[in-house]
Amino acid sequence: MFGNKFVTQAISRSAENGLDRRKFFAAAGVAGLGVAGAGVLGASGAFANDDQGSGGGPSDAAILNFALNLEYLEAEFYSRAYLGEGLPDNLTGGKGDRGPVKGGRKVDFKTKAIRDYACEITFDERHHVEFLRTALGGAAVARPAIDIDAAFQAAAKAAGLATDAKPFDAYASEENFLLAAFVFEDVGVTAYKGAAPLVSNKTYLEAAAGILAVEAYHAANIRTSIVAKGIDLEKAANKISDARDSLDGSSDLDQGVVNPDGKANIVPADKNSIAFSRSAGQVLNVVYLTPKKATSGGFFPNGTNGEIRESAANG
């Protein structure tokens, strides 16, 4: 589409330092400059050597790798539910220890709409993994160890939905699948929104906004499906919301699928109809299943891979 001469001149005009050039290469590779752009980018990936943000916060690479950990978790959960198998090996390697995934199996969906939703979300999450791994190139972290079954049982017990005698199996029915998906989807939306102000590269900020939008579609889809199932599933989902709220701090931000007046609450938002955010530490509180400062637990028994791996101290 563009020749090497055009790309070189554009770099000279726009890049003031090495970091700007690397980010221009990243934009060129992903925004579609064709063979010329891809050749300039090379095989190292967009953020393989990225620097810290100007404010001393985490680098774009660290933020995208944190997102990649979450996408691994979602992709593994949904892939097992719809396909009966996890991610292929070629989508799980990278920096850090590649861990196994425990639990999960194919769900016997009874409702065509929910089965179709599961299909669509499965491949959306796989595409997110593929996109982030491509964007990060050699800087991409490996899939960390993930424990699906034990973590869902712990989460369900915390929400009052399970006991040792009556365990929770996320894959036993489409109703359980919806409740398990509800655990993830709202967290994904708030995680991307919380990370957005920290991403300095506008190309990747736009991409992250696109992923946020897809996660929001997913969340609304799952919430709508839960409400359609009736009051028992609504009450169970609201208990999960309360349990999340007990993990991520004193603010009562998380919202269930129905309001106290019994009306559906498909879009959890503030009085200005703006979705709320979670910090990376708060997100890790939820997926580690602890209100305390920790570097592992819950769905990630050995912690996440990458620089961002410590939950907040909320309890």
Mean pLDDT throughout 90-103?
97
Distance CA 54, CA 20 (A): 12
pLDDT, position 55: 54
Which residues make Cβ contacts (< 8 Å) with residue 37, sequence separation at least 6?
1, 2, 7, 25, 28, 29, 31
- The pair of three-digit structure tokens given for residue 180, joined into one six-digit string: 């398990």
pLDDT tier, 262 (very low <50, low <70, confident <90, very high otherwise): very high
DSSP 228-289: HH-HHHHHHHHHHHHHHHHHS-SS-----SB-TTS-B--S---TTS------HHHHHHHHHT
Q: Give the sign of the dihedral formed by CA 53, CA 58, CA 64, CA 67.
A: negative
Residue 73's contacts (CB-CB under 8 Å, 6 or more residues apart) are 146, 184, 287, 299, 300
Q: What are the pLDDT digits (tens) for 35-85?
A: 333 322 333 444 444 444 445 688 999 999 999 999 999 999 999 999 999
Task: Kindly tell me the sign of the dihedral angle through the C-alpha atoms of 162, 166, 171, 175.
Answer: negative
Residues 81, 178: Cα–Cα separation, whole Å: 11
Within 13 Å of residue 139, how many CA atoms lie on the same side as its CB?
Answer: 21
Residue 121 has pLDDT above 80, yes or no: yes
Q: Is 212 within 8 Å of 205 (Cβ atoms)?
A: no
Q: What is the pLDDT of residues 183-201, one digit of tens each?
A: 989 999 999 999 999 999 8
**Is the full-model pTM beyond 0.75?**
yes
Residue 141 tokens, joined: 């972290």
Distance CA 230, CA 246 (A): 25
35: Cα within 13 Å, side-chain hemisphere: 1
As given in the structure block, the two tokens for residue 29 are 């590779």
For the ranges 122-136, 138-152, 214-228, 238-252, which has the lowest average pLDDT?
A: 238-252
CA dihedral 116, 122, 123, 127 (to 10 degrees): 150
Return the amino acid letter for 271. K
Confidence of residue 314 (pLDDT cuts 50, 70, 90): confident
